[in-house]
Structure 1
């Protein structure tokens, strides 16, 4: 924005000699100037780009009906017929007026004022444009639990100069499966202005309070079954959705070692594996004739440790 404009106006352009008090005949300005939707200050450059004004910086003052009024210390400019709520080219009438005789006298270089009008009217076209992209208001990251009822679209707020804004959410968020997901939000207004924002959604696995007891119960349900120790543990883990089978030492990879075991933890020995059920007892497979039985955690195989299975 220019702070002050001091551009000499030709007398034939802004003022004319004639009958005292007569307004200058309206002229047509063919060049189409632009301004921004809903922005009264953007009109200032549009109305002063070609026709200069005197004095200090021009400012918006008020609206009277469909007329916008701008002023500085020496001039008043009225823009009639401009609707800043609507985009597109609009025919307007602009009236440039000197506010007092002193300003007129200075403008005329100290010449007599008789027969000089202080108004100059032009008919022109202003193009109201919307070049401002919508603003997306949403968190950068959401942390939810597996199975939570979560709809990202309900978290999004969009503001724009116009009311017609389309919002597109790209990317899949599976709230039933733990993991990190990225979604891209794209907002487009009716003028084609577009903005986008990426959002991360982290789905944390929901812990089952009965997780370990389910493992222990599944082991107890196999008492008397003819199987080896690894199949006992493998079948017990299936009760909580873990599909794993391997050598006894391989079960160490399923969790962290603990000195305070709970029912459902895995007892890993040298060459043997079992399911802890509490009170110093475990369910062992491949025991006494290759069957599944309850026995003390203390057996002939050396205990490596108790594995607290990760959920």
Structure 2
């Protein structure tokens, strides 16, 4: 079937302008930057996991600096309380009333640095706001602004004094990505630019929160063939049947993957999604949602290994391409 000529989508120009702006500081990581932006436009939350010093926090700060919106940073520590994130209700003696003082979670972009250093009780304070975009305090619901995105970082090797994120919270993150070490030329560019104006603070906003919110809505108009819906669901369902998997991806994973697929298509100036979009995003969207068997973990199997196996075995209907 002949593929029609792509019609530009309103999301694509700003998507790449944002990526170019971030890449001024985060060198040689275009694919990682585009995954982070896909997460933003899909109204999802992002978990960046990697070894120390690879630019996890820098990437998050650059994304926030590129958008004219409210930004808050929370340094997670073992003594951090849930109210330090969500806010607290105080009694005003002069008026005889209670007043809710919003916490940092009421920003458009919230950076949770080293999220796995906080206690499980504090981590769970993010569950409601990440899923429903609101905070309930003393029986009153307070909505957060739109767009709203939590970007959390955690080190993958420094396990002293850390608390693993519970499965319920991991499932709230649309994607988990790694930054990785830069290639040789990119690392040379990084050290040559150290101490100059190539820092997150040097970036100027190239978009507003309102523009982002409008383009988020436009991404939902991307066409998806019925056969592609079927393929996407079969990919997710296959994670539940493999012997190495104790608990596969839930329907929330299917919905998250579809949202990301639509954004990827829009960012490439296509009004329709391709199977390639599903294959490109299945790993970042689904791998962290899987719970492997102890035997598989002992053999060194990872969630990404499982996703690679699924993509290699689930058949693709030719009608999945519009």
Using the size of structure 1 for normalisation, the TM-score is 0.17
- Of structures 1 and 2, the one scoring higher in RCO (CA 8 A, sep 6+) is 2
Select the structure that is richer in helix.
2
Greater Rg by CA: 1
Select the structure that is richer in strand.
1
